[in-house]
């Protein structure tokens, strides 16, 4: 299975880029837990489960049936596990979602009022060992500015590292797509 096997023409460039980056990853996903926030179709989490991860694919209640449908359509290809689950940013994290090895944000930064709830959810779902993989479609100056404000918020808590565009250049990559790895900053212990 490749990204092109499961991507439809309605997939977003961020999802396509993360799928291809995941497929080319030298870090194995086998037996790792992946949580995808704002998943839409769930394609990134489904592909991660193809590579052996335990994927928890989340979005608004109204999108969970689509995510579950897509999981069902690909169940024969899944080597790990995949579940679709509702999660609204800023709400209490369900007990069925723990701290993952990887937290995926594909095009989740798209309006100002979502930044604080998204940060709250990301903080609750990460610790120092969690790798956050964030991808943005910076198609307009407004979105680019919004991503900048998001990074200003998260840099208080996370180290950010741009993924070199040389690793992204493939048939899915678009010039306006940006991928950033985030890791929690060490917390200084007092005493």
Tens digits of per-residue pLDDT, 70-128?
Answer: 999 999 999 999 999 999 999 999 999 999 999 999 889 988 999 999 999 999 999 99
Q: Buried b vs exposed e over 120-153: b needs ≥16 C-beta within 10 Å?
A: ebbeebbeeebbbbbbbbbeeeebeebbeebbee
Q: What percent of the chain has pLDDT over 70?
A: 79
Check residue 110 and give its pLDDT.
84
CA pair distance 39, 42, nearest whole angstrom = 5
Query: pLDDT tens across 9-34, in order?
Result: 344 666 666 655 655 554 567 889 99
With the C-alpha atoms ordered 57, 63, 67, 72, is the resulting torsion angle positive or negative?
Answer: positive
What is the architecture of the domain spanning 3-184?
3-Layer(aba) Sandwich (3.40)
CA pair distance 189, 64, nearest whole angstrom = 40
Beta bridge pairs of residue 34: 55, 102
Contact 120, 92 (CB under 8 A): no
CA pair distance 116, 129, nearest whole angstrom = 22
Q: Closest Cα partner for 25 from 81, 104, 121, 98?
A: 104
- Which pair of structure tokens corresponds to residue 55? 């994927």
CA pair distance 165, 188, nearest whole angstrom = 33
Mean pLDDT of 144-161: 95
pTM of the model: 0.85
Cα atoms in the Cβ-side hemisphere of radius 13 Å centred on 44: 32
The strand order across the sheet containing 158-162 reads 81-86, 54-59, 33-37, 102-106, 131-137, 177-184, 158-162
């Amino acid at each position: 299975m490749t990204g092109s096997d499961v991507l439809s023409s309605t997939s977003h460039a961020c999802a396509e880029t993360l799928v291809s980056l995941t497929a080319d990853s030298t870090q194995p996903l086998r037996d790792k837990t992946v949580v995808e926030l704002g998943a839409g179709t769930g394609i990134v989490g489904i592909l991660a489960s193809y590579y052996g991860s335990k994927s928890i694919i989340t979005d608004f209640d109204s999108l969970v049936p689509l995510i579950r449908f897509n999981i069902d359509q690909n169940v024969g290809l899944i080597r790990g596990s995949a579940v679709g689950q509702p999660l609204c940013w800023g709400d209490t994290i369900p007990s069925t979602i723990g701290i993952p090895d990887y937290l995926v944000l594909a095009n989740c930064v798209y309006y100002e009022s979502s930044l604080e709830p998204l940060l709250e959810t990301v903080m609750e779902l990460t610790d120092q060992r969690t790798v956050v993989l964030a991808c943005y479609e910076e198609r307009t100056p407004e979105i680019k500015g919004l991503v900048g404000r998001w990074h200003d918020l998260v840099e208080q808590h996370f180290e950010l590292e741009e993924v070199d565009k040389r690793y992204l250049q493939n048939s899915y990559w678009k010039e306006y797509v940006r991928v950033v790895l985030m890791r929690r900053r060490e917390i200084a212990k007092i005493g």
